[in-house]
């Protein structure tokens, strides 16, 4: 791993929402702990995958890092500056150094604005290029993401989903960010188009040294694209490590369950005959102990009480589970060196 | 081979546009065998959902109409059925479930009432028997505590439970065929595995025949017996699941398989199919895949390839199939 100072350091981030606040004074409102003590470090040029099911808090985490959501507690250090409690100036700097790509390519672009105007607006607001250079720069950005400069005159409604997603990426790149948070950015696209966008992200990452937090539920894409993976469940990271290590020798039963539940294109790799029961529980009412225990096939009595388990393993690859990993991940051998050499 | 339970022959559906009618579904044929799960695979706009809506004559808009072909359900023509018979078909013989259970369940009716409504509509039974059937069918789809759950509204169910409830409504009258339109796309992967398992159990235990519309080849590999691949409103290849996934002859099918991110070595670019899927207004001439096809030659843009049987159960519509020797276009 790089020894450079990290680009982003998140420590014990918490984001809570209040729901069901009553009209009646004194009535109790419910607190949803969407992100509940998450720590994550991203180095320059690194791609970190954030995976988990709906309600795991992965999108909220991404939004809180960019200060699109106000954190309840914790530290978010971007290039050493705490943006969780930053001044307006700090936030403005953050906005010039980070960008987000959203899931819905149509919904994230203004339908009444041409693509060119949408890009020009970013360049103008952030005063990135002199006004007379703006049209040229818009053309460059569109070429960069594989569109034609002529697309600048189109509106989102005249373009396909893949083209709109490229425009969304061009807008994110307009500010020349150091960090991009991509929230399910290929989930809404057709399979044959998904690959085009993934390749574009890989190419841009190599060319511009971008760091990325790639939020997704599609594990195959995450495995292909990411250097490291963090697995979230009910507002907490339950496992984090280098991608191949997490996929081949998971240190948390939830990770093992997720991996086993992906329908493989090889018909001989059967889905488990008894998939884990139940749905992911609601973050409004998380179970005590390990949040995964009600669905875990390996849970023992100790899992059902107390606080969430503390991380075990090493700094590079850890899992928050009381059990030794060999119990739930057959490929795991306790004395194995981590598989990839640069860790 | 037994008689197919559902048989489509040259079914065409077109949409009325300002420029005149345009074919959304173009001469689609396939058979559904009893106890089979048939995967209907394709990208958005390939016509897979419209085909299945046409099957029960439930086209989503009045600008869509069936313009030709035949649909036989147990030998009976669906396209000429009168309304009375059609109402029996929908829900009685053929059940349908959708991607988004929230918008296909009535939010102001309890789950129990929705199931009982269907049972009482199709069978002359009393309230008590209908309720017993509702409990039975909720148990069948794996909803715990069905007696209590009958009185719940859809919003009181989780996403996976709602999908189970919709399957229960569809199964209430014991249909022979279930059409499942992307039933797991909106679900989490662990819940998706549960629903796929349920569909396979329904086939194995109750002999249900299922048409499973999906864009996910992993789901096809795990649950389907046969596959039909659609592109631009036409079927381009169909056959048994293992043949299609293991020995695809159509460049589009092979391209879809190669596009899976798991197929490329880590860090290398993913294989892609260049270009975009065609839209209704601008369907290419000849083979509709030719503008994106690496094998395309002159004949591909001129004439539409006919559906030809490569093996008794493997059909293909391509002038220059993969792995074939060089030469002129096949007849």
The per-residue pLDDT for A335 is 52
In this prediction, residues A89-112 reach a mean pLDDT of: 89
Provide the CATH topology of domain B6-316.
Rossmann fold (3.40.50)
The per-residue pLDDT for B1 is 53
Q: Number of C-alpha atoms within 13 angstroms, CB side, residue A86? A: 24
Q: Which domain covers residue A123, as residue numbers?
A: 45-63+95-327
Q: State how far the Cα of A312 lies from the Cα of A319, in Å rounded to an integer.
A: 5
First-to-last alpha carbon distance for chain A, in angstroms, is 6
Nearest-by-Cβ selection for B272 from A196, A225, A265:
A196
Q: State how far the Cα of B194 lies from the Cα of A280, in Å rounded to an integer.
A: 13
Closest-CA distance of chain B to residue A272, Å: 8
What percent of chain B shows pLDDT beyond 90? 65
Question: A275, B193: Cβ pair inside 8 Å?
Answer: yes
Element (H, E) at B300: helix B298-302
Question: A261, B261: Cβ pair inside 8 Å?
Answer: no
Closest-CA distance of chain A to residue B255, Å: 8
State how beta strands A318-319 and B226-231 pair: unpaired
For the cut 50, the answer to whether the pLDDT of residue B71 exceeds it is yes
List the strands of the sheet with A98-101, edge to edge. A98-101, A179-183, A211-216, A47-51, A228-233, A236-242, A318-319, A312-313
Alpha-carbon radius of gyration of chain B: 21
Is residue A190 a part of any domain in this protein? yes
More reliable by pLDDT, B279 or B234: B234
Is residue A274 a part of any domain in this protein? yes
Q: State how far the Cα of A40 lies from the Cα of A294, in Å rounded to an integer.
A: 26
Lookup: tokens for B45: 């706009």
Which of B145, B160, B190, B191 has the highest number of chain A CBs within 10 A, making it the mutation to test binding with A?
Answer: B190
Contact between B273 and B255 (Cβ < 8 Å): yes
Question: A267, B161: Cβ pair inside 8 Å?
Answer: no
Residue in chain A closest to B218 (alpha carbons) equals A265
Question: B218, A262: Cβ pair inside 8 Å?
Answer: yes
Nearest-by-Cβ selection for B159 from A266, A274, A279:
A279
Compute the CA torsion angle A20, A23, A28, A34 (nearest 10 deg): 30
Question: B261, A275: Cβ pair inside 8 Å?
Answer: no
Compute the CA torsion angle A319, A325, A330, A336 (nearest 10 deg): 90
Q: Which of residues 120-149 of A touch B (CB under 8 A)?
A: none
**Chain B residues within 8 A of A271 when measuring between CB atoms:** 193, 196-197, 222
Is residue A87 a part of any domain in this protein? no
Q: What is the pTM of this model?
A: 0.87
Mean pLDDT of chain A: 87
For the cut 70, the answer to whether the pLDDT of residue A334 exceeds it is no
In this prediction, residues A335-343 reach a mean pLDDT of: 42
Nearest-by-Cβ selection for B269 from A190, A194, A199:
A199
Q: Which of residues 66-85 of A touch B (CB under 8 A)?
A: none
Question: A191, B264: Cβ pair inside 8 Å?
Answer: no
The per-residue pLDDT for A337 is 43
Contact between A252 and A245 (Cβ < 8 Å): no
For the cut 50, the answer to whether the pLDDT of residue B195 exceeds it is yes
Residue with tokens 């309600």: A55
Is residue A221 a part of any domain in this protein? yes
For the cut 70, the answer to whether the pLDDT of residue B327 exceeds it is no
Is residue A27 a part of any domain in this protein? no
Locate all alpha helices (DSSP H) within B62-158, ordered by sequence. Answer: 83-88, 101-104, 111-122, 127-140, 146-149
Residue with tokens 């086939």: B203
Q: State how far the Cα of B171 lies from the Cα of B194, in Å rounded to an integer.
A: 17
Count of beta carbons in the 10 Å neighbourhood of residue B271: 17
Contact between A280 and A54 (Cβ < 8 Å): yes
Which of A31-45, B74-88, B234-248, B271-285 has the weakest average pLDDT? Answer: B271-285
For the cut 80, the answer to whether the pLDDT of residue A79 exceeds it is yes
What percent of chain A shows pLDDT beyond 70? 92
Which of A219-228, B187-196, B247-256 has the weakest average pLDDT? Answer: B187-196
Nearest-by-Cβ selection for B259 from A192, A223, A261:
A192
The per-residue pLDDT for A3 is 59
Question: B259, A191: Cβ pair inside 8 Å?
Answer: yes
For the cut 80, the answer to whether the pLDDT of residue B211 exceeds it is yes
Which of A33-47, B67-81, B183-197 has the weakest average pLDDT? Answer: B183-197
For the cut 90, the answer to whether the pLDDT of residue A279 exceeds it is no
Residue in chain B closest to A256 (alpha carbons) equals B190
The per-residue pLDDT for A1 is 47
In this prediction, residues B306-328 reach a mean pLDDT of: 85
The string of pLDDT tens digits covering residues A215-257 is 998 888 999 999 999 999 999 999 999 999 999 999 999 999 9
Lookup: tokens for B70: 């035949």
The three-state secondary structure class of A144 is helix
Q: How many cross-chain Cβ pairs, A to B, lie less than 8 Å apart?
A: 128
For the cut 60, the answer to whether the pLDDT of residue B326 exceeds it is no
Closest-CA distance of chain A to residue B304, Å: 23
Question: A261, B189: Cβ pair inside 8 Å?
Answer: yes
Lookup: tokens for B127: 């309230």
The per-residue pLDDT for B264 is 80
DSSP code at position B302: H
Residues forming beta bridges with residue B15, ordered by sequence position: B22, B64
Q: Number of C-alpha atoms within 13 angstroms, CB side, residue B53? A: 18
The per-residue pLDDT for A218 is 86
Q: State how far the Cα of A7 lies from the Cα of A55, in Å rounded to an integer.
A: 27
In this prediction, residues B311-325 reach a mean pLDDT of: 89
Lookup: tokens for A188: 């809404």
Tell me the residues of B at the A interface, defined by beta carbons under 8 Å apart: 43-44, 158-161, 188-194, 196-197, 215-219, 221-223, 241-242, 245, 255-257, 259-264, 266-267, 269-274, 276-277
Q: What is the CATH number of the domain that holds A230?
A: 3.40.50.300
**Chain A residues within 8 A of B160 when measuring between CB atoms:** 279
The string of pLDDT tens digits covering residues B214-239 is 999 999 999 999 999 999 999 999 99
pLDDT band at B329 (very low <50, low <70, confident <90, very high): low
Question: A263, B221: Cβ pair inside 8 Å?
Answer: yes
Write the CA distances from B108 to A287, B55, B112, integer angstroms: 30, 29, 12
Count of beta carbons in the 10 Å neighbourhood of residue B134: 27
Is residue A84 a part of any domain in this protein? no
What percent of chain A shows pLDDT beyond 90? 49
* Cβ–Cβ contact A162 with B under 8 A: yes
The per-residue pLDDT for A32 is 86
Write the CA distances from A280 to A103, A175, A283, A284, B252, integer angstroms: 21, 37, 9, 12, 37
DSSP code at position B262: G
The string of pLDDT tens digits covering residues A105-161 is 888 899 999 999 999 999 999 888 999 999 999 999 999 898 989 999 999 988 888
User: Considering its fold, how many domains does chain A have in total?
Assistant: 1
Q: Let me know if B120 is exposed, middle or buried by CB neighbors in 10 A (0-12, 13-18, 19+).
A: middle
Is residue A72 a part of any domain in this protein? no
Contact between B56 and B88 (Cβ < 8 Å): no
Residue in chain B closest to A200 (alpha carbons) equals B269
Count of beta carbons in the 10 Å neighbourhood of residue B253: 26
Count of beta carbons in the 10 Å neighbourhood of residue B63: 11
Contact between B31 and B7 (Cβ < 8 Å): yes
Lookup: tokens for A317: 């690859």
**Chain A residues within 8 A of B216 when measuring between CB atoms:** 191, 263
DSSP class per residue in B198-240: HHHHHHHHH--EEEEEES-HHHHHHH-SEEEEEETTEEEEEEE
For the cut 50, the answer to whether the pLDDT of residue A68 exceeds it is yes
Residue with tokens 């798991």: B262
For the cut 70, the answer to whether the pLDDT of residue B108 exceeds it is yes
Question: B161, A221: Cβ pair inside 8 Å?
Answer: no
Is residue A261 a part of any domain in this protein? yes
The string of pLDDT tens digits covering residues A173-203 is 999 899 999 998 888 788 888 888 899 999 9
For the cut 80, the answer to whether the pLDDT of residue A330 exceeds it is no
Residues forming beta bridges with residue B13, ordered by sequence position: B25, B66
Contact between A114 and A164 (Cβ < 8 Å): no
Which of A253, A271, A296 has the highest number of chain B CBs within 10 A, making it the mutation to test binding with B?
Answer: A271
Q: Let me know if A57 is exposed, middle or buried by CB neighbors in 10 A (0-12, 13-18, 19+).
A: buried
pLDDT band at A341 (very low <50, low <70, confident <90, very high): very low
Handedness of CA A302, A304, A305, A310 (dihedral sign): positive
The string of pLDDT tens digits covering residues B144-182 is 889 999 999 999 888 888 999 999 999 998 899 999 999
């Amino acid at each position: 791993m790089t020894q450079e100072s990290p680009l982003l350091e998140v420590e014990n981030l918490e984001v809570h929402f209040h729901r069901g606040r009553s009209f009646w004074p004194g009535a109790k409102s419910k607190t949803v702990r969407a992100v509940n003590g998450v720590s994550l470090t991203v180095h320059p040029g690194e791609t970190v995958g954030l995976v988990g099911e709906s309600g795991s808090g992965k999108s909220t985490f991404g939004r809180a890092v960019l200060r699109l959501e106000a954190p309840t507690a914790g530290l978010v250090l971007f290039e050493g500056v705490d943006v969780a409690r930053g001044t307006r100036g700090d936030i403005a700097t953050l906005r010039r150094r980070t960008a987000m790509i959203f899931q819905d390519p149509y919904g994230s672009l203004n339908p009444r604005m041409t693509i060119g105007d949408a890009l020009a607006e970013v360049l103008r607001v952030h005063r990135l290029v002199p006004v007379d250079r703006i049209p040229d720069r818009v053309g460059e950005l569109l070429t960069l993401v594989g569109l034609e400069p002529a697309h600048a005159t189109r509106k989102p409604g005249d373009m396909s989903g893949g083209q709109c997603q490229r425009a969304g990426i061009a807008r994110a790149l307009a500010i020349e960010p150091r960090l991009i948070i991509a929230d399910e950015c290929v989930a809404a696209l057709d399979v044959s188009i998904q690959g085009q966008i993934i390749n574009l992200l890989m190419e841009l990452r190599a060319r511009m040294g971008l760091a990325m937090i790639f939020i997704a539920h599609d594990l195959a894409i995450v495995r292909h694209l990411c250097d490291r993976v963090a697995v979230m469940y009910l507002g907490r990271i339950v496992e984090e490590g280098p991608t191949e290590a997490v996929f081949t020798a998971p240190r948390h039963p939830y990770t093992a369950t997720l991996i086993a539940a992906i329908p493989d294109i090889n018909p001989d790799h059967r889905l488990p005959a008894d998939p884990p029961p139940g749905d992911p529980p609601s973050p409004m009412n998380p179970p005590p102990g390990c949040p995964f225990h009600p669905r875990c096939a390996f849970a023992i009595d100790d899992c059902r009480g107390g606080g969430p388990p503390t991380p075990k393993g090493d700094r590079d690859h850890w899992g928050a589970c009381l059990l030794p990993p060999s119990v739930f991940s057959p490929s795991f051998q306790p004395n194995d060196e981590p598989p990839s050499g640069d860790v | 081979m037994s008689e197919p339970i559902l048989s489509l022959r040259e079914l065409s559906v077109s949409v009325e546009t300002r420029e005149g009618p345009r074919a959304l579904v173009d001469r689609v044929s396939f058979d559904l065998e009893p106890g089979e799960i048939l995967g209907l695979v394709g990208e958005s706009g390939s016509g897979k959902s419209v085909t299945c809506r046409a099957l029960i004559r439930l086209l989503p808009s009045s600008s869509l109409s069936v313009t030709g072909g035949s649909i036989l359900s147990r030998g009976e023509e669906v396209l000429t059925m009168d309304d009375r018979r059609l109402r029996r078909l929908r829900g009685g013989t053929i059940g349908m479930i959708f991607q988004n259970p929230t918008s296909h369940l009535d939010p102001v009716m309890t789950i129990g009432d929705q199931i009982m409504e269907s049972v009482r509509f199709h069978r002359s039974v009393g309230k008590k028997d209908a309720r017993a059937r509702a409990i039975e069918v909720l148990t069948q789809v794996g909803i715990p505590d069905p007696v209590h759950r009958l009185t719940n509204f859809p919003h009181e169910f989780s996403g996976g439970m709602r999908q189970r409830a919709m399957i229960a409504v569809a199964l209430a009258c014991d249909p022979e065929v279930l059409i499942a339109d992307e039933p797991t796309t909106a679900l989490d992967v662990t819940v998706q595995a549960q629903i796929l398992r349920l569909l396979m159990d329904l086939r194995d235990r109750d002999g249900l025949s299922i048409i499973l519309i999906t864009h996910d080849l992993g789901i096809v590999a795990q649950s389907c017996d046969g596959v039909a691949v659609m592109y631009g409103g036409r079927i381009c290849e169909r056959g048994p699941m293992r043949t299609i996934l293991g020995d695809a002859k159509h460049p589009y099918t092979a391209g879809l398989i190669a596009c899976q991110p798991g197929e490329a070595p880590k860090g290398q670019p993913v294989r892609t199919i260049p270009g975009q899927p065609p839209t209704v207004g601008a369907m290419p001439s000849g083979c509709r895949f030719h503008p994106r096809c690496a094998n395309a030659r002159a004949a591909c843009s001129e004439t539409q390839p006919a559906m030809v049987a490569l093996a008794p159960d493997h059909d293909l519509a391509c002038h220059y199939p993969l792995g074939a020797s060089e030469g002129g276009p096949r007849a």
